[in-house]
């Protein structure tokens, strides 16, 4: 870390009289932590962190006691810092200044409030980051450090619902890992053996946690590693330990990457590598074995939901297990695919497998898993297609389920969102995907922004294998990797994209161009495209998925030729939102209905608006809103005249909804969720006369609803769940004659209701509120219509970023 950053932090904290605020915060934590059991755990964590910081803060006071300036100057300097790239430094000061009030509020809260729990977690992260800076234990970039600090175990993955056969390997791993002469240990084994699961179990072990505390980092490397993220991790390791780094899913030919970490020769750090390769010469090897017979049987019975039942004969189960050969992934997928089936189905599966098959290679494992795909009948053909579509996104990424909703609505005519989610649940129940719901509250409506999908590498390879089975001209999807570092050619396409050759006539391996009739095209790129792509014509493509990793990206030129394109999904997998250029190429696409952008700077596409007459839905996830939609070249109502749905989720710089959006008079659904800085809605919102659904979920700084909201006479759902700062409902709410459901759960500051609510009793079908606010509604609404919002305190999901 640059010494200058540390000095800047110290000076800023001294000028802001941080010692005073720090002392007040420390006292508040000690006073409150034993009074409120519901907040005891996060407050005890804060107390521990404050104790560590105490001597450092006092040293700052002594060092700068003769240099203190007036408060006005400190505020001015704070503003300067906030305007700089390292604005997170100034944010720390404000969090600590406000921490005392936050903790005191917790002492008065009952019951549990998730908003305050979230703030306590953020405050703890702030203190932890401050400790790292002051001890010169961070990376060079404060923002980069904070990004990595969230790359923790919970944000990567979760343990399976049951793990067997890992207790002994876990003991072995710990015994080997903690020897003084071991700094790197390579955990290897076949795909599907449970290497990642064992690594997670290792990190969650109490003894391991006691040693490394919060200094544990779990980084998915994969075949196409994110070098920026890895570089930040390397910088992070420059400080004193003990520190644990897990490099998960390291592919062969990655010796140079391991060498970088191996050459650091730092004190008190340990590196655990998981890989299918052994990497001789790098650290201590540990080979993960297959499950024994007893553990295999336990896992099969669990996966097939057999319990102690004898509905399937024991000898038949043992025969099934012979073909699975102790591979946990094969056992799990096989068991789930046969769950609830009669004995005849189990025997049929045996007959389908070649006699005497032994899983002595990953190819044969894929063939074993293939039987679960083959078992999908004609009625389940769409499940097979959905499984194949999962490879449209890069490996080892957590994918928003909302992306599949957009894809499948057009590809398979799944007009209702819950039908797509139903298919994801079906894939998860068969072990073909993992569906993670970061916040599962039954009383919320069918908006699936908290649903994410991931997939095991071997299952991804299985989907690629299946892509090779159809003739090239009949393939329904093209999955392509491109860029300067990974040049496109026929050989690479054949290996990485299911044998997808003959995209261009210039491919030296292709003698004759063939027609491509794929409906889905997915490209993972570094932001550049070979010149050959400009001549590509894909007449049947309806869904285009673009995955980027760089800071500045552009739509490929050939996009303007995809006449039938209906869905565009652009995902940036870099650390920060990125620019997206060439957006004007979409103007010629008369069939484009849905656009989904993730981690994109929206200003880059709205400063030069282009008309998209057919656009019906746009979704913005973790995007930078900034000055978007203001001072545009043309009115948004002229650019997107037919827009019916807009979703804005986790856009952290959205402070006020632009009034220009209220000119989209055909809008039926407006969802703004988890935009914690949003403080105001425009008064013009009443102009959205066709709006049927308004979601403002978890917009925690939103203070009030505009009076003009009464003009939304077609609105049937108003969702304000966890809008903690709203204190009142607007007068005239009775004018919303179509309102059927209102959700004010976790709106704990909501006070007396206006008398006009009484008029809603006839039309309202459901009111969702908290237990202590129930009595307010009972004065106006029939009791059988009132549902109590119940959310169990759970800090795990707070640690998980949306990606």
3-state SS string for 283-312: CEEEECCCCCHHHHHHHHHHHCCCCCCCCC
Alpha-carbon separation of residue 767 from 25, 210, 746, 770, 788 (angstroms): 38, 46, 13, 10, 8
Whole-angstrom distance, CA of residue 757 vs CA of residue 11: 54
Tokens of 222: 């994969």
- The predicted pLDDT at position 46 comes to 78
Please report where in the chains the tokens 């970061």 appear, as a residue.
438
User: Which stretches in the chain have pLDDT values below 70?
Assistant: 1-18, 34-41, 60-94, 107-119, 121-122, 129, 132-162, 223-241, 264-267, 354-368, 440-444, 482-515, 526-536, 551-552, 791-803
- The predicted pLDDT at position 141 comes to 35
- The predicted pLDDT at position 666 comes to 96
- The predicted pLDDT at position 797 comes to 39
Each domain of the chain, given as residue ranges in start order, spans: 3-145, 155-287, 293-387+411-457, 654-803
- The predicted pLDDT at position 779 comes to 86
What's the pTM?
0.69
HSE value, Cβ hemisphere, 13 Å, CA-based, for 293: 6
- The predicted pLDDT at position 209 comes to 86
Coil, helix or strand for 487? coil
Q: 155-287 architecture in CATH? A: 3-Layer(aba) Sandwich (3.40)
Stated as kind and residue range, the H or E segment containing 753 is: none
Q: 654-803 architecture in CATH? A: Alpha-Beta Horseshoe (3.80)
- The predicted pLDDT at position 696 comes to 95
Please report where in the chains the tokens 């934590």 appear, as a residue.
29
Whole-angstrom distance, CA of residue 283 vs CA of residue 275: 13
């Amino acid at each position: 870390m640059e010494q200058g950053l540390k000095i800047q932090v110290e000076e800023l904290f001294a000028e802001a009289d941080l010692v005073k605020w720090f002392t007040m915060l420390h006292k508040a934590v000690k006073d409150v932590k034993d009074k409120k059991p519901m907040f005891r755990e996060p407050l005890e964590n804060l107390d521990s962190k404050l104790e560590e910081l105490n001597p450092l803060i006092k040293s700052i006071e002594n060092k700068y006691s003769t240099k203190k300036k007036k408060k006005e100057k400190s505020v001015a300097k704070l503003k300067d810092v906030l305007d700089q790239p390292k604005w997170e430094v100034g944010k720390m000061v404000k969090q600590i200044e406000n921490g005392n009030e936050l903790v005191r509020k917790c002492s008065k809260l009952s019951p549990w409030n998730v908003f305050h729990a979230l703030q306590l977690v953020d405050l703890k992260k702030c203190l932890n980051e401050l400790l790292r800076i002051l001890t010169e234990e961070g990376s060079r970039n404060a923002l980069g450090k904070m990004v990595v600090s969230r790359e923790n175990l919970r944000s990567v993955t979760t343990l399976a619902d049951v793990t067997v056969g890992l207790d002994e390997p876990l003991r072995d791993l710990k015994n080997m890992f903690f020897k003084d002469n071991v700094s790197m240990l390579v955990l290897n084994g076949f795909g599907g053996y449970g290497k990642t699961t064992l690594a997670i179990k290792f990190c969650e072990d109490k003894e391991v946690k006691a040693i490394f505390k919060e200094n544990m980092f779990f980084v998915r490397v994969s075949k196409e590693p994110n070098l920026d993220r890895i570089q930040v991790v390397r910088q992070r390791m420059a400080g004193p330990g003990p520190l644990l780094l897990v490099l998960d899913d390291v592919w062969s030919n990655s010796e140079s990457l391991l060498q970088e970490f191996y050459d650091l020769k730092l004190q008190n750090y340990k590196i655990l590598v998981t890989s299918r390769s052994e990497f001789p010469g790098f650290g201590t090897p540990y080979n993960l074995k297959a499950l024994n017979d007893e553990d295999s049987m336990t896992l099969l019975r669990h996966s097939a939901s057999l319990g102690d039942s004898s509905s399937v004969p024991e000898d038949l189960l043992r025969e099934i297990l012979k073909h699975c050969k102790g591979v946990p992934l094969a056992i799990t997928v096989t068991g789930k695919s046969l769950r609830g089936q009669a004995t005849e189905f189990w025997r049929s599966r045996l007959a389908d497998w070649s006699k005497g098959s032994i899983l002595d290679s990953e190819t044969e494992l894929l063939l074993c898993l293939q039987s679960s795909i083959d078992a999908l009948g004609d009625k389940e053909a769409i499940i097979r297609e959905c499984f194949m579509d999962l490879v449209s996104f890069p490996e080892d990424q957590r994918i928003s389920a909302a992306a599949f909703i957009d894809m499948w609505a057009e590809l398979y005519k799944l007009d209702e969102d819950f039908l797509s989610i139903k298919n994801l649940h079906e894939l998860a129940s068969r072990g073909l995907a993992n569906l993670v719901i970061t916040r599962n509250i039954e009383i919320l409506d069918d908006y699936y922004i908290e649903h994410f999908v991931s997939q095991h590498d071997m299952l991804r390879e299985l989907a690629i294998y299946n892509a090779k089975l159809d003739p090239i001209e009949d393939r329904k999807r093209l999955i392509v990797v491109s860029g300067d570092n990974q040049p496109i050619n026929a050989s690479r396409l054949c290996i990485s994209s299911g044998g997808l050759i003959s995209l261009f006539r210039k491919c030296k391996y292709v003698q004759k161009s063939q027609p491509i009739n794929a409906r889905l095209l997915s490209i993972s790129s570094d932001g550049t495209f070979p010149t050959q792509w400009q001549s590509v014509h894909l007449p049947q493509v309806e869904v285009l998925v673009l995955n980027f990793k760089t800071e500045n990206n552009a739509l490929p030129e050939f996009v303007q030729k995809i006449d039938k394109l209906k869905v565009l999904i652009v995902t940036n997998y870099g650390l920060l939102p990125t620019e997206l250029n060439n957006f004007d190429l979409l103007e010629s696409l008369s069939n484009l209905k849905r656009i989904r952008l993730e981690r994109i700077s929206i200003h880059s596409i709205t400063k030069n608006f282009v008309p998209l007459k057919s656009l019906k839905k746009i979704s913005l996830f973790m995007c930078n809103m900034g000055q978007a939609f203001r001072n545009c070249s043309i009115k948004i109502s002229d650019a997107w005249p037919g827009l019916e749905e807009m979703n804005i989720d986790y856009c952290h710089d959205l402070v006020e909804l632009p009034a220009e959006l209220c000119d989209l008079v055909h809008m039926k659904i407006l969802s703004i969720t988890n935009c914690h800085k949003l403080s105001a809605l425009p008064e013009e919102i009443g102009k959205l006369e066709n709006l049927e659904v308004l979601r403002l979920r978890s917009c925690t700084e939103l203070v009030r609803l505009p009076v003009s909201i009464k003009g939304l006479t077609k609105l049937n759902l108003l969702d304000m769940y966890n809008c903690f700062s709203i204190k009142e409902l607007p007068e005239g709410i009775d004018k919303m004659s179509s309102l059927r459901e209102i959700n004010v759960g976790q709106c704990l500051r909501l006070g007396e209701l206006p008398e006009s609510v009484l008029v809603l009793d006839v039309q309202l079908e459901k009111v969702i509120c908290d237990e202590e606010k129930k009595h307010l509604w009972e004065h106006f609404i029939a009791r059988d219509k009132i549902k109590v919002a119940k959310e169990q305190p759970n800090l795990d999901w707070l640690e998980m970023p949306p990606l």
